[in-house]
Amino acid sequence: MEKIFLASQNMHKINEIQYIMGEKYKIYPASDLIGNIEVEEYGKTFIENSVIKAVSIGDKINKPVIADDSGLCIEALNGFPGINSARFMNDKTYEEKMVHILEKMKNEKNRKAYFVCVATFYISGEFCFSYEGRVYGSISKEIRGNKGFGYDPFFIPDGYEKTFAELGDEIKNEFSHRKRAFEGLIEKLNKI
């Protein structure tokens, strides 16, 4: 089993990524080695921010690191919240963020949206590569479900009538944006 450190302290994300990565790789939070993980995400795209996090943490710990950057892009809001999905209304809960977004969309017929995740693998001084995954869907008219995290309670993936938070991790992890990004990453890792 290969050890890889994740540039995140979010236990929901760590558990989800471990599930996706399977038994061949063991994921540990990089905070186990360096304490609090604070990286300024100054990139203008998901891939830039993913690489910034991987390189910043990887150079500090000098061990294999995976970082990801992900977010929700809503068509009617010109891609908002996008790369700022976690940071917008930073002092508020995700429920408050969703209420705010639903208010902005209350008269909007176009509910199309997608989640994007870019996963980056980095070994200091050796190599760095990334893979992007997306899942398309729509924004529900209300917050529904209590499984999952982040914006899951109002995102309905294409082909379903329930939100990710109603479907639960077992179904979500079969085809989520994170699953698609990390599957692509694993495929590249297995060729090293």
**Around Cβ 30, how many Cβ atoms within 10 Å?**
25
Coil, helix or strand at residue 142: coil
- Looking at 68, 69, 152, 169, which residue is catalytic? 69
126, two tokens: 């050796």
**Under 8 Å CB-to-CB from 22, ≥6 apart: which residues?**
186
Place of tokens 């698609």: 180
- The tokens describing 145, both together, are 């479900």
Element holding 73 (H helix, E strand): strand 65-74
Cα 13 from chain centroid? 7
Q: Is 59 a catalytic residue?
A: no
Q: What whole-number distance in Å separates Cα of residue 114 and Cα of residue 174?
A: 16
User: Which secondary-structure segment (H or E) carries 31?
Assistant: helix 31-34
d(CA 77, CA 192): 40
The residues annotated with a catalytic role in the active site are 69
